[in-house]
Amino acid sequence: MARIDFAFGVEHRLRAACDVVRKHYLAGRRVIVYTRDAQRLAYLDRLLWGFDPTSFVPHVRHDDPLAVTTAVVLTAESPAATREHASAPDAWLLNLDLDCPPDADAFDRILEIVSNHEDDKAAARNRWRLYQAAGHTLHAHDVSGRH
């Protein structure tokens, strides 16, 4: 079963995702970022290029040939299949979808970021219940004072 960490109380979910991705990249950890929402994924892709003028987080889409050697892979496809394609068996999953990711139990660690928007909080509560029912280990982190 996966350990799933929910960071809640963020002002801007995708901006917080950029911070999380940068933190894990700097720690040498590979991360797969998942959402089925093509617009959300495209916006995150643009944010990762310029959210901080003094840092760069290398990232590619799942179908890019460089996915095998790039620390951060963005996908709207199956996260588990993306992990296999990117040869990243130890990658963590950052879920930015409103639903639980498919094949969640294929990952050791899943990160969830929850903004203060009511729709986002309601979707996160539902994901929490589904993860809990599946037997995953859940942890909540109030990060409202950080973003």
Q: Which two tokens stand for residue 15?
A: 């901006």
Percent of the chain clearing pLDDT 90 (strictly above): 86
Query: pLDDT digits over 36-62, tens only?
Result: 999 999 999 999 988 888 877 899 999
pLDDT band at residue 147, thresholds of 50, 70 and 90?
very low
Q: What is the C-alpha to C-alpha distance for residues 48 and 57, in angstroms, rounded to an integer?
A: 6
| 3-state DSSP assignment of residue 91 | coil
Domain ranges of the chain: 3-142
| Segment 55-99, tens digit of pLDDT | 778 999 999 999 999 999 999 999 999 999 888 899 999 999 999
E strand or H helix that includes residue 9:
strand 3-10
Q: Token pair of 112, please?
A: 């969830």
Token pair of 34 as six digits: 């998942």
CB-count exposure of residue 2 (10 Å: 0-12, 13-18, 19+)? buried
Residue 146's pLDDT is 61
Q: Coil, strand or helix: which one is 130? A: helix
SS3 113: strand
Assess contact for 8 and 141: CB atoms under 8 A. Answer: yes
What are the tokens at 118?
Answer: 């009511």
pLDDT in tens, 100-115: 999 999 999 999 999 9
Residue 19's SS3 state is helix
Does residue 22 register a pLDDT over 60?
yes
Superfamily of domain 3-142: DNA polymerase III subunit chi (3.40.50.10110)
